[in-house]
Amino acid sequence: MSMTAELATPRLLPRRFGLNKPKLEVHEGDLARADLILSRATYCDPQSNAALLGDKRLLFSPSGRSFLSYAPKGRTWLAFGAPVGQAEEAIGLAQRFITMARKRGAKPAFYGVGPSFEGIAEALDLQKVKTGERAILDLTTFSLDGKQRQVIRTHRNRHIKNQFSVRIEGPGAVRANLARLQTISDQWLVHQAGGEKGFGLGRFDVHYIDRLPLATVRAADGHIAAFACLWPTADKSRIGVDLMRYGEDAPNGVMDYLFAELFLWAKAQGYQAFDLNTSPLAGVEPCSSSPFVTNLAKLMYEHGEKLYNFQGVRRFKNKFHPEWEDVYLAAPKGVSHFVALARATLLINRPL
């Protein structure tokens, strides 16, 4: 394997050829600025890369070294995750977002925030409600040895015996394989609930995925059976995965093989943990502070399979035996967590 201080306002662009490009996007120059900040950030999560989807507005810090991504929905402004860039600018940028939203008559909230947001929530007196869990695999102790890795190890060994390989390439590798990757994506989507997503979940958009590292599973003749797009962090504290899809002709266990190779590669590259991304609404139990919201979240997790394969996603990630990290929706007092969560769900399932 090889590893070859202003508001950015969106503009209307035509749909991209065959790739469901959203109508509302930020300027290409602002996406390039965000991409550069991500490559230098000392304060970010793998999910910060979702800013490159282009379906969210970008608020830059006065220094230009940090940004926050958000999307309006009704009278709610939803930031996705924490600010990205420099740690010393995070609280100020979050406060600026809240102030700007209020000045425009909107209700601000932060969706998909984890432990790195704790200091911001405390400093700004934000109220949190759990909305899911994130699967984290510690790479410093990771090994394919042992009984709990037996199934994954078996799938890996079989693929290697059958002359499959995993190729990991840097940004820009998508276009050379676009037709095949598009076919795989189309085949995969036929069997998935709710179709393409957005906001905090990636979609097959060449303008987005071509900015990310790409991992492909290939047969001996070079035929691509599966692929995944990676979300790196500049400090190598974590690396994550976003889009992961396989074709109709992919062999059984291909994703286990792909992830085994990704874990080994990421560990060799010096990453400390692998982020398998969020299982939305997983592990949410009724709580006294927001009983209606948490009961709704639990109900959606158990019965909302037409929107998203909530339980299937968690089962798949659980086979790697990760640690589960709480993910929250945070908002100032007076902002309805229920309304904010409902609008986040719309943004994810009805991309702009």
Read out DSSP for 106-120? -EEEEEEE-GGGHHH
Q: What is the DSSP string of 177-212?
A: GHHHHHHHHHHHHTTSTT----TTS----HHHHTTS
What pLDDT does residue 19 have? 45
Is residue 211 a part of any domain in this protein? yes
Residue 233 DSSP SS3: coil
Is residue 240 a part of any domain in this protein? yes
Mean pLDDT lowest among 15-24, 46-55, 275-284: 15-24
Is 97 in the same domain as 179?
Answer: no
Is 40 in the same domain as 66?
Answer: yes
Is residue 2 a part of any domain in this protein? no
Is 290 in the same domain as 270?
Answer: no
Is 71 in the same domain as 129?
Answer: yes
Cβ atoms of residues 242 and 202 within 8 Å? yes
Mean pLDDT lowest among 25-39, 46-60, 268-282, 297-311: 297-311
pLDDT in tens, 218-245: 999 999 999 999 999 999 999 999 999 9
Is residue 74 a part of any domain in this protein? yes
Is 205 in the same domain as 247?
Answer: yes
Residue at which a domain ends, from 245, 276, 307 = 276
Residue at which a domain ends, from 242, 276, 310 = 276
Residue at which a domain ends, from 276, 310, 329 = 276
Q: Among 194, 198, 196, 193, which Cα is nearest to 78's?
A: 198
What pLDDT does residue 8 have? 44
What pLDDT does residue 25 have? 56
Residue 341 DSSP SS3: helix
Is 132 in the same domain as 261?
Answer: no
User: Strand pairing of 76-80 and 107-113?
Assistant: parallel
Is 144 in the same domain as 235?
Answer: yes
Q: What is the DSSP string of 67-96?
A: EEEEEEETTEEEEESS-BB-HHHHHHHHHH
* Token digits of residue 246: 């396989």
The residue range of the domain holding 187 is: 137-276
| 47: exposed, middle or buried (Cβ count in 10 Å: 0-12, 13-18, 19+) | buried
Is residue 335 a part of any domain in this protein? yes
Is 130 in the same domain as 18?
Answer: yes
Give the DSSP letter of residue 28. Answer: H
Whole-prediction pTM: 0.85
The number of folded domains in the chain is 2
**CA distances, 91 to each of 155, 199, 255 (Å):** 45, 22, 39
Is residue 155 a part of any domain in this protein? yes
Is 166 in the same domain as 230?
Answer: yes
* Token digits of residue 116: 């790195």
Mean pLDDT lowest among 83-97, 220-234, 258-272, 292-306: 292-306
Partner residues linked to 167 by β-bridges: 216
* Token digits of residue 332: 């100032």
Residue 154 CB coordination number (10 Å): 13
Is 271 in the same domain as 304?
Answer: no
**CA distances, 350 to each of 20, 111, 180, 195, 200 (Å):** 12, 16, 26, 9, 12
| H or E stretch at 346 | helix 337-349
Is 335 in the same domain as 260?
Answer: no
Q: Can you tell me the distance from the alpha carbon of 70 to that of 78, in angstroms, rounded to the nearest whole number?
A: 5
pLDDT surpasses 90 at 350: no
Pick the more confident residue, 132 or 229: 229
Is residue 1 a part of any domain in this protein? no
Task: Give the strands of the sheet with 127-138, arranged side by side.
Answer: 7-8, 57-60, 67-73, 76-80, 107-113, 323-331, 127-138, 273-280, 239-246, 224-232, 214-218, 165-169
Is residue 47 a part of any domain in this protein? yes
CATH number, domain at 243?
A: 3.40.630.30
Is 310 in the same domain as 240?
Answer: no
